Structure 1
């Protein structure tokens, strides 16, 4: 019975370690990328507004432009 518990605890520890690695290697870079894109979008809007160009956000018109 003790062996099963030790194996289970070991599995849980490995799972937590794996989840930490996934967070570090996948989600952190994705967050950094989305932050960069978001900041760049805001910067572009500011640049356009300052240069006198009207900034019009794109809206979902429901029209499929791919067809």
Structure 2
């Protein structure tokens, strides 16, 4: 490999690994806050979905508990 190829390889590696390191530091400093849309509505916490519906992607039958 020529000298310019080695230099470009090192620059690319520093950019990739440095970007990864900066992203990890950023995530550590400011973790994602829980959004109100992520929290279940009142009364939804005790509801258990139908196991067959979860596998097939269909909505659970009304009134049926697993």
State the structure with bigger RCO (CA 8 A, min sep 6), 1 or 2.
2
Which structure has more helix as a fraction of its residues?
1
Given the two structures, how large is their TM-score scaled by the length of structure 1? 0.45
